[in-house]
Structure 1
Amino acid sequence: MDWKEVLRRRLATPNTGLNRKKSEQELKDEEMDLFTKYYSEWKGAGKNTNEFYKIIPRFYYRLPAEDEVLLQKLREESRAVFLQRKSRELLDNEELQNLWFLLDKHQTPPMIGEEAMINYESFLKVGEKAGPKCKQFFTAKVFAKLFHTDSYGRISIMHFFNYVMRKVWLHQTRIGLSLYDVAGQGYLRESDLENYILELIPTLPQLDGLEKSFYSFYVCTAVRKFFFFLDPLRTGQYLNLDKDHNGMLSKEELSRYGTATMTNVFLDRVFQECLTYDGEMDYKTYLDFVLALENRKEPAALQYIFKLLDIENKGYLNVFSLNYFFRAIQELMKIHGQDPVSFQDVKDEIFDMVKPKDPLKISLQDLINSNQGDTVTTILIDLNGFWTYENREALVANDSENSADLDDT
């Protein structure tokens, strides 16, 4: 008996509920038996190996080539039909209104303030009347997820309805995004997401006043932000930094970013590691830079900055790399007439904050786990950031005095 016959018989076996559920070990043993059987047949096939391969179910389908226009059109049409079917499976406005009516009709007293509640028995009754599209929402798991501390064992009708609405909106969004998946591979490329955002702009009331000449900047900013955080803004500043108006930023132009107190050593590393064109940074690279600096508590941002600080590309920061960047901070302190700070003291503070697994090396994961990554990176690359950290106690005391003065008035 071949594997197809085994599968056919299994599927034909009625699910009466009396069949004993197999244990995990039994399933593993059965899987091993099948593997051994087919492997033995394959080894014994000899010159007829190709015949054995024919019984393996097909699992790979080649994408149509560019010149196979008919196949491409067929694939696009089948995807469109599939997405339309998925869209029809979602609750429409009329069905959502009917669901709300049923929930309100079956609410379980007593009322708690203005909050309508429903118990599990009534919850199941609504599920039976709401129709097949709603079946997925009326489960014990969903009820338990939304249950909190009601002494009558009920859940909030409003919370449940909002849960259903969010699920519907989520699936609607996924279907909408899938329409822009030109390659049909289950993901959006940067160009696909750009098209989606561009066509979305006219539907956003918040952007009614946005001039069309700025659409490309808005689209680029939004897309880069998605890709920065999902793939491991103060963008108006970009135009102000670009003094020669060539659409690119030189190191000298970028040095004026923020409080203009980042060290030249750090900026050198930015231009060494990041994609540039003839030594200048384009808008997309600038957005990555801004996102990293303005979200230094996020793992994606720390990964970006860590790569710049890891000058030896060893996967960790040691005393040498810390000293390499802090010397530039010391130089700026001298230029601004500030009292010098010992590197030894700063180094000890950094290791005390991070508490790395290896007492001589700080890995990216150490920085993330410490929840001090934003502070450590700031004091190594930005004079203003280091000054704020160094004078944190005095600043807190000053804020307290100012608050006290305000209270007195």
Structure 2
Amino acid sequence: MNRYLPFEWIAATRFMRNGLMQTLLIISGVALGVSVIVFMSALLTGLQSNLFRRTLDYQAQIVIIPPEDVARPLRGGGPVAEAAILQPRSQRLRSVDQWQKVRDLIRRMPEVVAVTPVVSGPGFAARGDASKAVNITGIEPDSYLRIIALRDKIVAGHLSVSNAEIIIGTELANDLGVKVGDKLSLSPASGAMQTLIVSGIFDFGNKGINGRNVYVALRVAQSMLDLAGGVSSIELNVRDPFLAETTAQQIAAQTNVQVDSWITTNAQFFTAMSAQTMSNTFIRFFVGLTAALGIASVLVVSVVQKSKEIGILRAMGTTQQQILRVFLIQGGVMGMIGSLFGSALGAVFLSFWRGVAKNPDGTQMFAITAEPRLFVIATIGATLIGVLSAAAPARRAARLDPAVAIRG
């Protein structure tokens, strides 16, 4: 079979067999490095996806609200300017100006995937003598469910809002002693009370939201909050959540509204995610650098040990380019074999993690999926690192003078 292989491959495989212990050690080092990279990358991706999902499951990526009221001083008309002490004006509930026009404009933007109008304001929920302050949220279910995963969070009853139905959280249901089918009195901070039937109970895994938010039909909220025909905000999602701030700035430039993205409202969370990504990048870099130095050091030793053989090959007519390719092939082969074993070992680590990282109820802590692309990238990357780390030893071997190498 060897006679069908190019000369460079035959020489490279013989050199690796002759230094079998060194070859096995470097393959083991590459395998361990690749397994760490695969495991850490999959783990971090799963963790970020879980945190990202939990953060954006109950909030839109971009929210459009009316601009804040600004208090302006009234000055006298005399030649002397009067000092003015301004107290910020209390912000009343107002509608987004020409919100239908703004919504239609946003819908035409290619990066936007979903848009929904929302009416939100303070109120009180009461049953008997018990009452709690809540945030009344009026929605259009068809468009709202494309942005907020409310349907997936229903733990009792069903998702239905109408002129006589309301959806509440588990904490509020426990505090007021309410279950599906019971009647609940709802009223704005100032206004008439309205009695609604609880059609569903949700659980977002957040006590604040479960105890504060209630969902009603958009028209019901407009009537209760004295915002007939208007909406307090327009919420939307985009194709790439990490470009939400760019889209928000584009919308603000085209409309006279205030636009907030989830990146600005969750600045600390976004910074933490960026720090995690950066730390993972550094880990992968240093692991790859360690593997590259290991391959390079082994091949440098191999050049020294096999200098006489290299000199003989050069004296027999082997070109510098062929000697160069011999050592580049060694680096690439060791990197590729190490990456294959490392990918398999990384998959074993991930399987072990899935079995150990459990919640108290026995469910998986968070989903970890190792995409085939991750293994392909790891294999290609390790092979390239092997070739690149072999470049310096290969050049040194190719430049050996045959007479000097043979004399030792």
Instruction: Pick the TM interval, shorter chain.
Output: under 0.3
Q: Which has the larger radius of gyration?
A: 2
Q: Which has the higher helix share?
A: 1
Q: What TM-score do the two structures reach when normalised by structure 1? A: 0.23
RCO higher in structure (CA 8 A, sep ≥6)? 2
Q: What TM-score do the two structures reach when normalised by structure 2? A: 0.23
